[in-house]
Structures are given as structure tokens and as C-alpha cells.
Structure 1
Amino acid sequence: MKVKKILTRLYVNDINPAIEFYKKLLNQDCNLRFKYTEMNLELAQIGNILILGGTDEALKPFKDTKVTFLVDSVKEFREFLLKNNAVIIRDLKEVPTGMNITVKHLDGTIVEYVEHKKINE
């Protein structure tokens, strides 16, 4: 069980200028970008920044989530979190990048855990 990366989440209505700004600010390319059509969102990752773009209505269910943890096994984290008094907000779900779960930690912080798909080379 390992947290591989922690992503700070930013919520925007227009993702393109946000991507350009953070690329310049961090001097890094956008290493992940995709449409999450089921939720009417578009997401982009630049370094440790995760940008979620959409209308206020589309973003509303996600805005209380403060951070995303990229992990090696979302199922193992689910078991650990339940044993440690976390509350499931959105249970295990297939998402465009793999699988995720959103939980409320004991301190009240809402965190998304994501396990990226293994890509066969």
C-alpha cells in the first residue's frame, strides 16, 4: 500500500487558460488530459496540479474534495480506510484513468484515491 503522488485540485470553468497558465508557472507540460464525459468534466494534470474544468453545476459534487492521492491499490486503501473510521462518499468506481474512491477521513477532509490503469506495453 503506497501513495505514489499527491495532487492539489483546482476547479475552473474554462480549462484551457488554466492549463496554459500552470504550464508556464511550473515550466512543465500537461502530462495528462482527458474528458470525463459521464460527469461533464475535463481534467488535466500538470506536475502535482490536477485541474478539473466544467460548469459550476458539473463541478459542484466534487468541490468539497480537497486532494487526490494516486495510489498503487485503491482496494487495499479502501480496506485500510474503513478500518480507520473513514466514511465512503463515493465507492469504488471505474473512471477514465482507472479506478477511484472518495472518502471522508476521520478529521473531516474529503480525499479522492485513484489507481491508474496498468497499460500493457
Structure 2
Amino acid sequence: MTAMAIDSVVVRQRVEDLDAAVPFYEKLTGTTAARFAFAGVTLASVGPFLLFAGPDEAVQRVAGVAATLSVSDLNAAVEEAEAGGAVIVMPIQPTPNGHRAVLRHPHGGVYEYVGP
């Protein structure tokens, strides 16, 4: 049996002013931010960072997730994590950038899994 592979990890960071924060992270990573909105939150993906800002109520839905884990087979990753004791907080669903699921690992961390 082949173990699930995590292709990359994206660090999530809440910021008060997205426009003010983005230039720092663009310079730090040498990449240009990709901006988008999701569930009432404005976001910017900059290298390995996902910056987000918005009203407290909307941001709380995003802020409770420690990191985003990119996987090549989302269904298999969710099944394997669940078999290992993870609890599905949000089942797989489509997003503007692919599909996502949110899981609570057996030791308490909450992670977003994303994939095709």
C-alpha cells in the first residue's frame, strides 16, 4: 500500500490589511500574489503563504485551519486520514481552485486538504 503524499504545505496568515501585507510577501517569496475571494473573505496566495482578511465572522471560518495541504489524490488522502483517526469537519466540495475538505487530525490540528 502506498502512503498518501502531501505535495506542498501552504501557511495561512490572517492580516488586517491585505493590500498593505501583499508587497512584503511578494518581495519575500519573489512571486506575484494571486488574489481571490471565498466565503466573504479576501485572500492572496503568495508563494507558500495564504494571506486572508475580512470581517471577523467570515474570517473565523478560515482562521481555525492551521495550514493547507496540497495532495494529488484528494479522495485517497481523505480516506487515508480518516482511517488513521482524522475526523471530517467539512467533506470534499468544489471551490474556485479545485476541491477541498477540512479534517481534524487525531491530535487536534485542523487542516484543509486541497486537490483536483
Whether TM-score is above 0.5 comes out as: yes
Give, in angstroms, the shift of residue 89 of structure 1.
0.9
Shift of 1:17: 1.1
Match among 31, 34, 37 for residue 36 of structure 2: 34
1:10 corresponds to 2:20: no
Counterparts of 1:1-121 in structure 2 under 5 Å? Answer: 1-30=4-33, 32-36=34-38, 39-116=39-116
Count of residues in correspondence between the two structures: 113
Cα shift readout 1:70-115 (whole Å, capped 9, x = no counterpart): 1111111111011111011111111110100000001111000011
Matched residues, percent identical?
Answer: 28
Could you tell me which amino acid in structure 1 is paired with residue 68 of structure 2? T
SS of corresponding position for 1:65: coil
Higher mean displacement: 7-16 or 83-92: 7-16
Alpha-carbon distance in 2 for matches of 1:15, 1:28: 16
Distance apart, 1:61 and its partner CA: 1.8
User: Which sections of structure 1, spanning at least 5 residues, go unmatched?
Assistant: 117-121
TM superposition shift of 1:26? 2.7
Moved over 3 A (4+): none
Opposite residue 71 of structure 2, the aligned amino acid is: V
Query: Using the alignment, how far apart are the partners of 1:102 and 1:111 within structure 2?
Result: 6
The residue type paired with residue 65 of structure 1 is V
Partner residue, 1:119:
none
Of 75-84 and 55-64, the range deviating more from structure 2: 55-64
* DSSP 3-state at the match of 2:10: strand
RMSD over aligned Cα, in angstroms? 1.4
